[in-house]
Chain A
Amino acid sequence: MKSFKYLDDTAILTLDTEKCTGCSRCITVCPHSVLAVSNKIAHIVDPNSCMECGACVKNCPENALFTNPDDGCGCAAYIIASWVAKLRGTPSNCAC
């Protein structure tokens, strides 16, 4: 189901095709079908659907994938808290 789209050309997701062995683990875990394997190698076929959840990065045995490494669930309250924490130099923690 692709009824929802967020911002285009925004999410950070890169794939190092030199490292990829085409094992397909990233295809299994991605909840938005962002990746697909063809010619024994993975390809980013729908970058604008990526929500940077990091499932593919975590499950790539070759470390071929990269996404925004900042943690946090992507809620505004958390981002405000982390901005405030950065200003005050204290660590932030998500309440949800």
Chain B
Amino acid sequence: MPRSGSNEIAGYTISPMVKSFYSTPTGPVPQVASNLSFGDKLGTFRARIGALRSSYRIAPGIYCIGSPNASSPVLVTGNYKLSFDTLRKELSEIDCWILVIDSRGINVWCAAGKGTFSTEEISYQINKCNLDQIVNHRKIILPQLGATGVAAHELKSLCGFTGVFGPIRADDIPHFLAKGQISSEMRNITFTLLERLSLIPVEICLFWKSLLIIFAITFILSGLSPNFFSLNSAIERTIFGSFFTLIGIVTGAALTPLLLPWTFFRQFWLKGALLGVLTSLATLSILSGKNLAENLAIIFWITSLSSFLAMNFTGSTPFTSLTGVAKEMRRGLPFQIVSATIACILWVMSSFL
């Protein structure tokens, strides 16, 4: 049996994505694989369903792909592992350095908005890694979506490096590196069906805490009866009602994002409300309540829930403005509160009819 390698240091674990350590003037630099392992893909899956969020991070610092030299390009990204994986899997044919900023485990765009992917953090990391000893040029390539937090023109005075904004999407980087520029198409953000689809699981999975509260309230409201409280009715109607809650969630958090370009309205609460009315009517045509009050309660409830979740999806889109969201919330939120209240009153009333 051979002894442990020189890169095994007490208290540290070598990340599975590290193939070997690459010798540089500042010491060994981890050389990462450009293909994703099963473990990486499992991590992506867990991050997508919200099981891993702020903890899905890698150590900030300098990494490399292939066999870069002093004149190889330096690409900058954040330390959310999903971002890092997205970047490295596009760089299989490219020898380069990757400077990972401590964005606190958050993706580049959100971190830039919060100020953790910033001009100062990048300068700090460049100095900490002694990047000036690793490369002989003074240029770093920044992700375009980091521009919200990074003033490229201020970088030089802080750390001696100039920042150039590369493309938005990692898969355009090989083209950018080869040609030195990109088309205006690549500078514009997309929001394709597939991109929207990948956001849906986390939208639904992060709702479970609120779901428990909804179950509790449904249980209490369902039990109220002419003889004060009926446990039988509470259990029976909670199961019945929860089915419609589920329909509301699917409509607001999945159907609305998928049908985003085709739902007529611009305001998200209206998109969600419209689809909520439609799905509740469709569901009721298959499985209906015991009387008109209960059916109306279901329509109001699904509409309210779907409208709220659709409105909340604005935070996941790459085209809604803060002023716009605040504006639509001043209309949407009262509608949702009134609609949910009516649903609760009708749900209780139906037991007394």
- Chain B interface residue count, CB cutoff 8 Å, equals 46
List 15 extra interface pairs beyond A10-B324, A52-B323, CB under 8 A.
A1-B190, A2-B188, A7-B328, A10-B323, A29-B147, A31-B145, A31-B187, A55-B144, A55-B145, A61-B153, A70-B322, A74-B314, A74-B321, A75-B314, A96-B315
Task: Give a binary string over A30-69; 1 marks a CB under 8 Å from any B CB, 0 the rest.
Answer: 1111000000000000000111111110110100000010
The complex places the Cα of A76 from the Cα of B331 at a distance, in Å, of: 12
Interface residues of B in 123-176 (CB under 8 A from A): 144-145, 147-153, 165, 168
Note all chain A residues with C-beta closer than 8 A to B145.
Answer: 31, 55
- Distance in angstroms between the alpha carbons of A29 and B145 in the assembled complex: 7
Partner-B contacts on A (CB < 8 A): 1-8, 10-12, 25, 28-33, 49-56, 58-59, 61, 68, 70-80, 94, 96
Which residues of the partner chain B approach A76 to less than 8 Å between Cβ atoms? 308, 311-312, 314-315, 325, 329
The 3 closest A-B pairs by CB, nearest first: A75-B315, A29-B147, A55-B147
Interchain CB contact (< 8 A) of A52 among B144, B165, B321: B321
Q: Would you call the interface of chain A mostly helix, strand, loop, or mixed?
A: loop
Chain B positions near chain A (C-beta within 8 angstroms): 110, 113-115, 144-145, 147-153, 165, 168, 184-185, 187-191, 260-261, 266-267, 308, 311-312, 314-329, 333
**Contact check: which of A4, A7, A56 meets B317 at CB < 8 Å?**
A4
B319-A59 in contact (CB<8A): no
Which residues of B lie under 8 Å from residue A96 when comparing CB positions? 110, 315
**CB–CB A6/B148 < 8 A:** no
A19 to chain B, nearest CB (A): 14
